[in-house]
Amino acid sequence: MQYCITLGEKLQEMDHFKYQDGKLFAEKLAVETIADEIGTPFYLYSTATLTHHYRTIDEALAGLRHCVFYAMKAASNQAILKTLVAEGAGMDVVSSGEYARAIAAGVSPDKIVFSGIGKTKEEIQMALAGGIRQFNIESETEMKLLSSIAVEMKTTAPITVRINPDVDAKTHEKISTGKAENKFGIPISRARAVYAIATELPNLEVIGIDVHIGSQLTTLEPFETAYKKIADLTTVLRNDGHKIERLDLGGGLGIPYNSLSETPPLPSKYGELVKRTVGHLDCEIEIEPGRLIVGNAAILVSKVIYIKSGEERNFLILDAAMNDLIRPAMYDSWHDIIPINEPLAEHETAHIDIVGPICETGDTFARQRLMPPLISGDLVAFRSAGAYGAVMSSEYNSRRLIPEVMVNGDQFAIIRARPTFDDMINRDIIPKWLK
C-alpha cells in the first residue's frame, strides 16, 4: 500500500515522529498520551529534529567561514529559539518584536541580522541601541534614514545591501522574492550606484551583500544563477573600492512536504553549491534558513469531529482549522496528514476532503486525499507543520490560539499554553460610553 511504504522509507529518516507498535511517537513519547493531557488541537515540536536539522545545514557549510542565522519568522517561540541558541545559531529578524524575542532568548546582538523592507525609525533605533551585527538594507530611502539615525545616536551602522538579482525561484508566486517585479531589494543594475551612495553617507559601514530569492525552493538552479550573479557583483564592487567581507545568501531551501512527489535538494548539495559559486571569494558566508530548520520539527495534532457524507464527496471534519494552519488555504500547500494509529496494511483507503470547522470553503486542508478509515474521536497529525504554522495562526471565529508543546526525549513541556476564554475576551477594552 503506497500510503505505508512512504512512511517507512522516507519520512522516518527525516524527523523523530515515527510509528512504534502501531502508535505515532514523538521521540520517546506516544503522541496520544500528550494529546490526552493537552487536548487537541496543538502543535508538537521535537527537540531532536530541530537540532538535527540545524546541525545538518551548519555542517553543509563546514570548511567555509560561516554563520547560520535562523529566520525566526518561521517559528519564534522562546523554547525553539533557546534550543537553537544553545546550538550556536544566530537570528535573522524582521521586526522589533522579533528583535525583542531574540534578545529575550539570549541571542548575542552581534549574532542578529535585521532584514525586511519596511524597518521603521523606532525599529532601527531599538536595534542600534541594543546592538546588531548588520542591517540588510532594501532601499536608498532606508539607507538614508539609517545613516541619519546613526549620526543622531553617535554610532556606526554596519550594512549589507539586498540585491534583487531578477531570478525566478520557481516556487509559489506568493513566496517568490527575487524577480524584478517583486518588492524586495535593489535592482542588480543599480547596485554600483547604490553602494557609491552608501559610502558617501555618514556613519554607515558597508560590509557585504545580501540576497534572498524566495522560499520553499525545490531545485538548486535558481540559487546557482543568483549566487553567480552575486559573485560577479562582489568582484565589481571590490574593484570600485568597497569592502565586501560578508555574503548573506538568504534562506529558502525547500523541504519535502509531499512525501510522494517532492524531493528537494539535500542541504549537503546546497552547501556544495555555495562553495562552488562563492567559496573562492574569501567572504564570511551567512545564511538565513527558517523552514529547513523547523519545518519538519513539528506536527499539528488534531481530532476528527465528524465524518460527513456529501452527495459528491465525503468530508473529514477536524477540530483544527485554517486559523491554526493557514498554509493550505493561503498557498494551496500540501501537508501529509496521517492517523496517530498506524493504519493496518489490509485497510482500504478512500478519497476524502479534509476540512476544518470554520465557516468558509477555504477552510480546507486537503481535497480528495487518500486516507485509511477514520471515525469521530480519532487523532491525526499534520506533518511538516513547524514552519509558518503557529506563527501565522489567528483567533478567527473566536477560536483560541492553540498550544505549543515541545518534546525532548522522554519529557514534554507546554511551551505556550492554550488561553482561557477570559484571556481572549479580556484583551478587548470596553469604551467608557458602553460601560
Window of 13-21, 34-42, 95-103, 211-219 that interacts with ligand LLP by CB under 6 A: 211-219
State the binding string over 213-252 for ligand LLP (x if CB under 6 A, else -).
Answer: --xx---------------------------------xxx
User: Using the rule CB under 6 A, is 288 a contact of ligand LLP?
Assistant: yes
Q: Does 75 bind ligand LLP (CB under 6 A)?
A: no
* Rg of the chain in Å (alpha carbons): 23
Query: Per rule CB under 6 A, is residue 74 in the interface with ligand LLP?
Result: yes
Whole-Å CA distances, 221 to 175, 213, 242, 247: 17, 12, 28, 19
Sketch the per residue contact string, 381 through 400, with ligand LLP: x for CB under 6 A, - otherwise. ------xx------------
> Smallest distance from the beta carbon of 289 to ligand LLP, in angstroms?
4
> Using CB under 6 A, which residues numbered 320 to 339 contact ligand LLP?
327, 331
Residue closer to ligand LLP by CB (options 305, 330) is 330
DSSP state of 189: G
Measured CA distances, 104 to 68, 122, 195, 295, 400 (Å): 19, 18, 34, 23, 25
Q: Does 71 bind ligand LLP (CB under 6 A)?
A: yes
Q: Select from 66, 119, 133, 212 the one that contacts ligand LLP (CB under 6 A).
A: 212
Closer CB to ligand LLP, 57 or 207, in the complex: 57
Using the rule CB under 6 A, which residue among 4, 151, 175, 307 binds ligand LLP?
175
* Cell numbers given for 190: 543599480
Q: Find out whether 321 and 281 touch, Cβ atoms under 8 Å.
A: no
292 contributes a contact to ligand LLP by CB under 6 A: yes
Query: Smaller CB distance to ligand LLP: residue 176 or 225?
Result: 176
What contacts 235, CB < 8 A, 6 or more positions away? 281
40 φ/ψ angles, rounded to the nearest 5 degrees: -100, 165
Q: What are the two backbone dihedrals, phi and then psi, of residue 17, each rounded to the nearest 5 degrees?
A: -115, 100
Residue 203 CB, shortest distance to ligand LLP, in Å, is: 24
Residue 195 as a binder of ligand LLP (CB under 6 A): the answer is no
- Rounded CA separation 38/32 (Å): 10
Angle between the N-to-C axes of helices 96-104 and 121-130, in degrees from 0 to 180, rounded to the nearest 10? 20
Residues with catalytic annotation?
A: 359
If we measure between CA atoms, which residue out of 332, 320, 339, 267 comes closest to residue 296?
267
Closest CB 129 distance from ligand LLP, rounded Å: 23
Residue 311, C-beta contacts closer than 8 angstroms, at least 6 positions apart = none
Query: What b-and-e string marks burial along 296-306, b requiring 16 or more CB atoms within 10 Å of the CB?
Result: bbbbbbbbbbe
Q: Enumerate binding residues for ligand LLP (CB under 6 A).
A: 71, 74, 92, 115, 175, 212, 215-216, 250-252, 288-292, 327, 331, 387-388
